[in-house]
Structure 1
Amino acid sequence: MTVLTPQLLESFADSVLPTARASTLPATCYTDEEFFAFEKEAVFGQEWLCLGRASDVPNPGDYTNVELVGERLTLVRGHDGTVRVLSPVCQHRGMLVSEGRGNCRAFKCAYHHWTYGLDGGLVGAREMDRTEGFDKSQWGLPSLPVEIWQGFVFTSLKANPEPLAPRLAKLDELFAHYELDRCVSRKSFESPSMPWNWKVMFENFNDGYHASRLHAGVHDFCPSNRSSFLPYAPDDAAIARTNGFLFPDGGFNALQKALLPIFPGLTEEERSRAAFALVPPTLCLGVAPDQAFYFLIRPKDAGHIEVEVHYLFHPDALRDRLFEEKFQLSEAGVNGIVAQDVMATTGVQQGLTSRFAPRGRYSYLEEAQQQFNQWLVRRYTEGWPGGGRDASSPGTASSPGTASSPDAAPSDSAPALAPVSDPTAREVAA
């Protein structure tokens, strides 16, 4: 028996009501493997997916491999300097031609030595001269669309996805003075298996409500009741909020003060707040006066994710002679917060498997969660098996509308997908 019933789809209407009336998504959406399999296509198969930073492959020939929802992908910088995303699956018999990370001049399949250029083109296939109709130019590695936004590399499993950058315009404004495209990335940690659903991760990252409770003490300078939410429109690709401080240049550590050099271009207002953004389904991004941080989320199954946590620093900050010492102190504070979040999100996932798991109600400080519901429900509706119905209006024809509140922006049918003239090299200026 399938869980993907019309009744489940119609139940999502309660989750896209205005925050004061909305309910959380049904627990099934976080725990059921059939529902996760549905999400793999309806969400991850349709959206832009963040693989990392362009600086992960700084030099021609540099490559790194990522696995996302069962697909192996190679991020590579070509001899021409262009960042591309290729499938590493040899088009002869399916063996992987690239694994791990490194630097190379070409990708050669170890099985039969078919050889591919860094642009994916097949450049060598010996003993194929007797194969009728074989045209080397038609057998290159599949090349996926690419957009580079603020230094982050996005790709899509969809051939011609709607351009991403225009739908991130509000984040360009929010993060303009941090110069994220110039920032230096530094990995904090990576875990191959954290025991919760990918949506639990996104909801926790942008949840201001818990900060003054779960993180009491170290988070007191940034109280929950100073959260403010950016407006959300149906075509937005991001959900964002700011959280004010009690004093300028606060920091997430025992001293509650920024320990590292401040981003040089910040306004007084920006030095007195943090900001958090979701670019679902793979990127969580936040900023504070002295550092930015991002999480890369890769679901493994309904109840587990792989996560990487990285920092971003302005290049000038690294000139501080005591940068390493200050960084260690700063990271210790952040790690304490992360440990508390791990405890909470693990407990949430365990509770969601119970027959007593609720469809809870939201505080006014959880508007970001209601906006995330809007983002999700639109994609659930559009991808529902057999043709979905508008979850905000049960019994009507399918529509990508995201909320049933009277003040919600009207939404017509889904926008036509814009063609990608050069899907392997579309780079968007920050």
Structure 2
Amino acid sequence: MTIEHTTAPALPEGIDAAFLDEMQRSTTDVATAITLPPQLYTSAEALAFEREAIYAKEWLCVGRVERIPNPGDWFTVTICDEPIIVARDKQGEINAMSAVCQHRAMQVCDGEGNGTTFKCPYHHWNYALDGRLLGAPAMERTEGFDKSEWGLPRLAVELWQGFVFVNMDVDAAPLAPTLTSYTPYLDNYHLEDAVCPGTFTLEDMPWNWKVMFENFNDGYHANRLHQYVQDFCPSNMSEFPVEWSDDNNVIFREGGYTHMDGGFNATHHSIMPVFPDLTEEERTRSTFALVPPTLCLGTAPDQAFFFLVRPKGPETIDVEIGYIFHPSALDDPLFEHKLKLADVGVQVFVEQDQDATTKVQRGLRSRFAPRGRYSWQEESHVNFNRWLVKRYREQING
């Protein structure tokens, strides 16, 4: 017997080939392109379409690998209404699977922990750390029931730069080859050996996931919205070093500094130890990268920082934020104090960005919401549009 799952819905009303033609106007050269249609940021139908066109097919970043260092460690995450378990099994392998019990669809666990199995609290179906069904009470009279056919649906897993990615398409092409344009910018950080001391999550943020992605990689507002606090990394020092290719799964830019070892804090200088293998050039810039649809990743001389974006609705997201440091940073007896100082600086940016993105989302609901024009300092947005439109097109044509 084969487990039956729901199939992809029909195209939502209004998202068709003609709408795709309108979106194409957002993918031309930055000098001629216009912004995406506002309804893509506000419509439940658009998010339902993206759930199939993007979230069911793309690599989704779920967190750092050091979150589950030991056999039996696990955590859960929900992305676009899909609850997912990420667990390290007894052999040390990382597994990802749906958290939906294959009996009556209850979520089998939530949060994080350590254990040897997952027991659904509803009827005590018991699953292994790799999703296999180990036991199902009182099913001996159920005709044709075979435990081996009722495990938790598995997801593909890939590790990149110390991050765990999952894909609901178990036959998906590998992620890493599509990120090679950006990986040279990370080589000297050795992020797979760096440390993330923890994360915090902003819940129910009132804007669309694409607004979040655009804001993270928007050099145009850098020392305008963030005047004074980001004057060391001004908008006019933005650079876009890689010509776009449809094979890319990363969109990034450089943000140059007015001095070496800049830092996103009140001092404008690095607080934590600078990553020791960085070149002088790397110590005079940040990078800001998008790995859609879930990871925003940035670098500075003394840290990397990431946002994990998880849609909860067309105009609501959760954002998990973390910092990554060189291991020597934790040896400093003042580490906790320095971390607080660095975090206070970041919170200034976060508060300013929250105010801006909330008001952008509000404006996108207006009858006067524009299809606006881009500055040259917004080239990343056009590349993001190209990434997005390609996946819309594949879903519509498919």
Structure 2 spans left out of the alignment, 5+ residues = 1-11
Alignment match, 1:266: 278
Q: Which of these residues, 52, 62, 65, is aligned with residue 41 of structure 1?
A: 52
Map residues 167-178 of structure 1 onto 2, 5 A cutoff. Answer: 167-178=178-189
Map residues 159-174 of structure 1 onto 2, 5 A cutoff. Answer: 159-174=170-185
Map residues 28-427 of structure 1 onto 2, 5 A cutoff. Answer: 28-231=39-242, 232-384=244-396, 387=397
Q: Which of these residues, 23, 26, 30, is aligned with residue 37 of structure 2?
A: 26
1:29-79 per-residue CA deviation (whole Å, 9 max, x = no partner) reads 111111111111111111111111111111111111111111110011101
Structure 1 spans left out of the alignment, 5+ residues = 389-430
> Is the Cα contact below 8 Å between 1:187 and 1:308 reproduced in 2?
no
Q: What is the rounded CA distance, in whole Å, between the counterparts of 1:120 and 1:32 in structure 2? A: 35
1:365-421 per-residue CA deviation (whole Å, 9 max, x = no partner) reads 11100100100010111112xx38xxxxxxxxxxxxxxxxxxxxxxxxxxxxxxxxx
Q: What is the rounded CA distance, in whole Å, between the counterparts of 2:213 and 2:113 in structure 1? A: 31
Report the secondary structure of 2:210's partner residue. Answer: helix
Give 1:310 shift.
Answer: 0.6
Moved more, 88-97 or 222-231: 88-97
Moved more, 176-185 or 107-116: 107-116
1:231-251 per-residue CA deviation (whole Å, 9 max, x = no partner) reads 221110100111111110011
1:272-306 per-residue CA deviation (whole Å, 9 max, x = no partner) reads 11011000000000010011100000011111111
Give 1:136 shift.
Answer: 2.1
> Is the Cα contact below 8 Å between 2:154 and 2:170 reproduced in 1?
no
Moved more, 326-335 or 276-285: 326-335
> Is the Cα contact below 8 Å between 2:223 and 2:229 reproduced in 1?
no
Counterpart of 2:76 in structure 1: which amino acid? N
Q: What is the rounded CA distance, in whole Å, between the counterparts of 2:302 and 2:387 in structure 1? A: 30
> Is the Cα contact below 8 Å between 2:240 and 2:253 reproduced in 1?
yes
Report the secondary structure of 1:220's partner residue. Answer: coil
> Is the Cα contact below 8 Å between 2:154 and 2:168 reproduced in 1?
no
Q: What is the rounded CA distance, in whole Å, between the counterparts of 1:92 and 1:2 in structure 2? A: 33
Alignment match, 2:7: none
Counterpart of 2:303 in structure 1: which amino acid? Q
Report the secondary structure of 2:254's partner residue. Answer: strand
Report the secondary structure of 1:60's partner residue. Answer: coil
Q: What is the rounded CA distance, in whole Å, between the counterparts of 1:121 and 1:44 in structure 2? A: 24
Give 1:17 shift.
Answer: 0.5
Alignment match, 2:9: none
Give 1:7 shift.
Answer: 2.8
> Is the Cα contact below 8 Å between 1:261 and 1:320 reproduced in 2?
no
Alignment match, 2:22: 11
- The number of equivalent residue pairs is 386
Give 1:182 shift.
Answer: 1.0
Counterpart of 2:157 in structure 1: which amino acid? V
> Is the Cα contact below 8 Å between 1:3 and 1:35 reproduced in 2?
no
TM-score between both structures, scaled by the size of structure 2: 0.94
Counterpart of 1:38 in structure 2: which amino acid? F
Alignment match, 1:399: none
1:220-271 per-residue CA deviation (whole Å, 9 max, x = no partner) reads 1111111111322111010011111111001111111111111111000001
Report the secondary structure of 2:197's partner residue. Answer: strand
Counterpart of 1:321 in structure 2: which amino acid? P
Q: What is the rounded CA distance, in whole Å, between the counterparts of 1:315 and 1:156 in structure 2? A: 30
Report the secondary structure of 1:317's partner residue. Answer: helix
Q: Which has the higher contact order (CA 8 A, sep 6+)?
A: 1
Give 1:138 shift.
Answer: 2.0
Alignment match, 2:3: none
> Is the Cα contact below 8 Å between 1:230 and 1:239 reproduced in 2?
no
